[in-house]
Amino acid sequence: MGLSPHGVRQAAALAEYVHRKPLDVLYASPMKRARQTLAPLLLNGTPAPVILPELREIDFGDWTGLNWDEVQKKFGVSPFTWLEQLECAGIAKAECAETLRARIEPCLRKILNDHAGQQVAIVCHGGVIRVLLAVLFEWPLSRMGAFEIDYASVTQVALFPDGPRFQLVNFAPWRETVR
């Protein structure tokens, strides 16, 4: 699924914000929405992205392509419990939290190891961002529902010897300008 016209405007606002930040390296999901979000970022000297298949969105199995109301109606479960459902393999044919973490954690560890002390950006999806945060902060995935992750938003984490610290959470540079 591609970006809507609204999503294209959000991506442009995100790019304008990110261009003010020095980046050493950029990683991205191979999925269409992520590549479309990247397009305006690449216009002003941002490093070419390293595309990693491990950063693709979560496979929602039988929920794929359904909106929240359709999930509720078809499966009788609140879609707002999706993190808990993934953690207990409660969505048929979907990735469970264990499989998801096994896909994403080695990817994150390699990025961190290869770019210690550098400014790294990862363009991916809300579910993947939640897994990345769960790994960094050593929290269960089900707790990541406490964080709102909007489209074209920035979540920034700084790594220190005593552990990671949030710098920004779900900052959406388009929020005041794109309607």
- Segment 132-163, tens digit of pLDDT: 999 999 998 888 888 899 999 999 999 999 99
Q: What is the largest CA-CA distance in the chain?
A: 48
Residue position matching structure tokens 């808990």: 84
3-state secondary structure of 120: strand
Domains of the chain: 5-58+95-171 (3.40.50.1240)
Helices (H), 39-174: 68-75, 82-87, 97-114, 126-137
| pLDDT > 70: percent of the chain | 99
3-state secondary structure of 77: coil
Q: Is 83 in contact with 141 (CB distance < 8 Å)? A: yes
Query: What digits encode the pLDDT tens for the residues 64-104?
Result: 989 889 999 999 988 888 888 888 788 899 998 889 999 99
As a whole number of angstroms, the distance between CA 12 and CA 32 comes to 16
How far, CA to CA in Å, does 40 sit from each of 5, 37, 105? 14, 7, 28
* Cα end-to-end distance, the chain, whole Å: 21
pLDDT band at 178 (very low <50, low <70, confident <90, very high): low
With b for 16 or more beta-carbon neighbours within 10 A and e for fewer, the 98-128 pattern comes to eebbebbbebbeebeeeeeeeebbbbbbbbb
pTM of the model: 0.90
Confidence (pLDDT) at 106: 98
